[in-house]
Amino acid sequence: MKKKLPLLMPGCEKFQSYRFPKTNQQARWDYPLRMCRWLAEESARRVKDSRRHFRWKFLRGDCHSHTHHSDGIGTVAETAAMVKSAGLDFQFVTDHWGVTQAPECKRHGVWFGQEPVTKLHHMGILGLNHAFAPKMDFLVDVAEAKRLGATVFVPHPTGWWPVTAYNAEQKKILEKLPDPFLMEICNGANNIVTAWDYTDDSAVKLWDHLLSMGRVVHAMGNTDAHAPHAIGIVWNGVFAPRCEQKTILAVLSKGRSFVSNGPLIHIAMGRAQMGERAGESDRRNPLKMTVVDSRGLTRVRVVADGRVVGTWHLEDAAKFERALRIPKSARRYVRVEVRSRDGARGYSNPVYF
Ligand SMILES: [Zn+2]
Ligand SMILES: [Zn+2]
């Protein structure tokens, strides 16, 4: 007779999760959230280490997220806890269809906005304390929200991951939007570890297209988190003197910010800094750039009028400083983009010509 061999080492039954469905049920929610919190804490440490090599003061924050006040799965409290882990200075909770989350946001120290759906696009609306009712005409609705004093941004301008791809009409109407305006070049919807995916590549392409037309379009990077897990996977580094909502919105609206999930970027040409226009005397100067990532930089690229005009491949440098003459033939803008060793990315806002 053949001896039956054991399937489990003796005495190990008590370690098998499936034998304890009740505790396992709880862990199935808690453990992934804890893993994401560790990632958020790691990203906070990374930026803290980087700041030692970066002389400009900036605040970090995300302008787009959801809770169960619309179609998100988390609460405002869970969002706020994650914001703390990620070391973000500010977070807007922008639920769809209104601002019923506002009292909870006030209690938990985060800000609120909203994201109604209008014809062709969603609308990111910040700094408005009541529900906005769209008339289902994109250009009219944006103008009305601005008239009410709101800061408006275009979320996921080419669609969102994994399968929503906007059509030509949806992209084309952005050419008619009065500039300057704010537009996401990174949207982390449905992403959980890193925000970057091919929809962001197409958003960056559209951004270059609009900038090459001479439009002033300031970039934003937001998580669009529908689960608290994703808070912190991308953020805006805002060169604002203090963390007060009005100030942050004013500085973002001027494009004095960069988009990142790791690297820090500062660029200037003469007296013109990112988001500003370089006058004739500024253009006599080279573009001065400073890029920092304590976890190691691997590539820095300078883009002018949609063309790459400078590339450096680095071996995990923590800091990169360079001055580059931008060809006179560039007539619209220059911007800088960066990759880090672990794939993290950063995008400066442009200096406009
Ligand atoms: Zn949306
Ligand atoms: Zn959203």
Give the domain ranges of the chain: 26-261, 263-353
Q: What share of the chain is helix, strand, coil (3-state, %, to 5)?
A: 30, 30, 40
Report CA(311)–ligand 2 centroid distance (Å): 34
Two structure tokens written together for 206: 């559209």
pLDDT > 80? residue 334: yes
Which band of pLDDT confidence, cut at 50, 70 and 90, is reported for residue 240?
A: very high
Distance (angstroms) between ligand 2 centre and the Cα of 66 equals: 6
**Mean pLDDT, residues 266-277 taken together:** 98
Rounded to an integer, the average pLDDT of 272-292 is 98
Q: ω before 241 within 30° of 0 (cis)?
A: no
How far does the centroid of ligand 2 lie from the alpha carbon of residue 247, in Å? 23
Question: How many Å apart are CA 345 and CA 185, to the nearest integer?
Answer: 12
Domain 26-261 in CATH 3.40.109.10? The answer is no
Q: Which amino acid is at 89?
A: D
Q: Is the pLDDT of residue 83 over 90?
A: yes
How far, in Å, from the CA of 100 to the mean position of ligand 1? 18
For residue 1, pLDDT beyond 80: no
CB atoms within 10 A of CB 84: 19
Distance 80 CA to ligand 1 centre (A): 20
Question: Average pLDDT, stretch 280-292?
Answer: 98
Mean per-residue pLDDT, 287-303 = 98
Q: Bin 102: left if φ > 0, else alpha if -120 < ψ < 50, else beta.
A: alpha
CA of 160 to the centre of ligand 2 (A): 10
- Residue 173 Cα, ligand 2 centroid: separation in angstroms? 20
- Measure 223 CA to ligand 1 centroid, in angstroms: 11
Query: In angstroms, what is the span from residue 303 Cα to ligand 2's centroid?
Result: 29
State residue 2's pLDDT score: 81
Residues with CB in 5 Å of ion ligand 1: 122, 155
Q: How far is the CA of 305 from the centre of ligand 2 (A)?
A: 30
Distances (CA, A) of 117 to 81, 164, 182, 187, 345: 28, 15, 17, 16, 29
Q: Which ligand is nearest to the CA of 71?
A: 2
Mean pLDDT of 85-105: 98
Q: How far is CA 135 from CA 130, 140, 148, 178, 196, in A?
A: 16, 8, 14, 18, 32
| Mean pLDDT calculated for residue range 160-171 | 98
Residues 193 and 163: their CA atoms lie apart, in Å, by 18
Share of the chain above pLDDT 70, in %: 100
Residue 65 contacts residue 115 (beta carbons within 8 Å):
no
Angle at 255 between CA 254 and CA 257, to 5 degrees: 125
Domain 263-353: which topology?
Immunoglobulin-like (2.60.40)
Q: Which residues contact 284 (CB under 8 A, 6 or more apart)?
A: 270
Ligand located closest to 117 CA: 1
Angstrom distance (rounded) from CA 174 to CA 215: 10
Q: What mean pLDDT is predicted for residues 322-329?
A: 97
Widest CA span of the chain, in angstroms?
95
Task: Provide the pLDDT for residue 29.
Answer: 85
pLDDT > 90 fraction of the chain, expressed in percent and rounded: 97
Ligand 2 centroid–CA 117 distance in Å is: 10
Q: What pLDDT is recorded for position 277?
A: 98
- The phi and psi torsions of 140 (rounded to 5 degrees) equal -65, -45
So what's the pLDDT on residue 339?
Answer: 98
pLDDT at 27 exceeding the cut of 80: yes
CA of 348 to the centre of ligand 1 (A): 23
